[in-house]
Structure 1
């Protein structure tokens, strides 16, 4: 975390939004810069400054959080008594209740949270929409100015191939409410044992396997968890996505999304450029078969 002077563009947006919301922005601290810029504010409030043009997504995330709260599903909570989102210069700002002390969830904890989420009946008065696994991928590729022309051309071709394969997705478990981005950083455990979902902007109706495939990737693609940890995940959730005919497609989609995220980060964070090239080389088969080593979190902090 670093102290924020509010002199950059997101800081200026935050300061204006805080003034409109009636909350303090002095002493703001940056928690993370990725798809959104996350700030810790005085008074136990966390603010998210979205990219331009994401007003509808920010509104839906607020509505999803309120619905999950009403359904008894532990998830991040919006700050009460603030009309949200607040939009400044086409950038949506939302305000959230700061979490207590927490850590990333274990595979078993992630499995339990997903099983509970997937069992919820969809809301009657909120249209969650259908999962879109391709959202913003074309824009990420277009904006990936640090990669080679050859890699950019390959990514465009691979994206078209993935879109075609998605039209032939095999039948799996019944579609349900899915988180949409259920990696361990978005499922946290508090010091008192509560498991909480974060980052709800991709919550929608879709194949539950989309949520479970990320943990499978951590085992089979990246070798970052053990066979015992993965088996525990499957036992708690009640299904092993790797046994399904659609696994390789969802795996390939997830790996591609992870790679385009790195490419997006590399534009403004030079330290992430080598990581982007490494991930692309893996996907293109230049570094041998899975599991692949050397994948580290992006953006660099």
Structure 2
């Protein structure tokens, strides 16, 4: 499915990809935009490379963080997608922050067991104190500060209040949570298959030290919001735990849903299809409609 994007932003992003690729002698002719939610993700048709472009101050922070985390996790032989061996991240006027990744197979219809396996492996790696700490609250504050001008002040205030309440509740439960290395945003769209057949995790923007239970939350929330109850039951069986049985489940679910609304606030006006789905998600949260289904951002 093509990503719906304004012509102006599309031209800016393609120009950034072309300039970034020229720095490392890659041909960006006919680079294809394959996804744009938090980052714009391009596939190069002339070489097996994926180019990710972040925008603004948040994009710069994420770009630096993801490169650091990928390198550190590679030292632990973690099941994660490798960086391309070039100097990065690359910073360009715009401002844009660019990272490069070898293109791996993402054509599989992933099973729940294939998602659970790399998570179990990742969670068994001893914590590394040099990794950044998972902090969705600072991320949210940054995204709210950089929100597109099309978002109303009323909605921004509502989100800020909702985040404050969630942070206070999370801090209450934090001492009860087992900490370790987490991916931060594990779902089937963030799986790739290496040539050896091994399944690895990509999109490491939220990876670091955090509550291990958090990596089970996306599938638990998705069971309702994306009508994936069958997938979730199989995921629980493969991983061996159901986070919904835990007393802290409600606040983790709340944080996940807020992330899925707040993460796209910057540059929202340039993405009409994303903006429409965002409005639906926000409306259902404000109405406390816990059974409403959502669609994927495209």
| Counterpart among 186, 207, 213 of residue 209 in structure 1 | 213
Deviations 1:195-220 (A, max 9, x none): 2201012111010111111111112x
| Counterpart among 263, 269, 272 of residue 271 in structure 2 | 269
CA distance in 1, matches of 2:98, 2:109: 25
1:130 aligns with 2:129: no
Which runs of 5 or more structure 1 residues have no equivalent in the other structure? Answer: none
The aligned counterpart of 1:110 is 115
Higher relative contact order (CA 8 A, sep 6+): 2
User: When the two structures are superposed, what TM-score results if normalisation uses the length of structure 2?
Assistant: 0.85
Residue 183 of structure 1 contacts residue 214 of structure 1 at CA under 8 Å; is this kept in 2?
Answer: yes
Residue 91 of structure 2 contacts residue 97 of structure 2 at CA under 8 Å; is this kept in 1?
Answer: yes
Residue 101 of structure 1 contacts residue 191 of structure 1 at CA under 8 Å; is this kept in 2?
Answer: no
User: Closer, same or farther in 2 for the Cα pair 1:152/1:58, shift >3 Å?
Assistant: closer
CA distance in 2, matches of 1:266, 1:284: 19
1:33 aligns with 2:36: yes
Residue 5 of structure 1 contacts residue 28 of structure 1 at CA under 8 Å; is this kept in 2?
Answer: no
CA distance in 1, matches of 2:203, 2:106: 17
CA deviation after TM superposition for structure 1 residue 48, in Å: 1.1
Deviations 1:225-250 (A, max 9, x none): 23x53333222222211111111001
Matched residue SS, 1:169: helix
* Structure with the largest fraction of helix: 2
Residue 37 of structure 2 contacts residue 264 of structure 2 at CA under 8 Å; is this kept in 1?
Answer: no
CA deviation after TM superposition for structure 1 residue 189, in Å: 5.1
| Structure 1 consecutive aligned stretches of length 4 or more whose deviation exceeds 6 Å | 4-7
1:87 aligns with 2:99: no
CA deviation after TM superposition for structure 1 residue 139, in Å: 4.2
User: When the two structures are superposed, what TM-score results if normalisation uses the length of structure 1?
Assistant: 0.84
Which runs of 5 or more structure 2 residues have no equivalent in the other structure? Answer: none
Deviations 1:163-188 (A, max 9, x none): 21122125445200000111221124
The aligned counterpart of 1:291 is 291
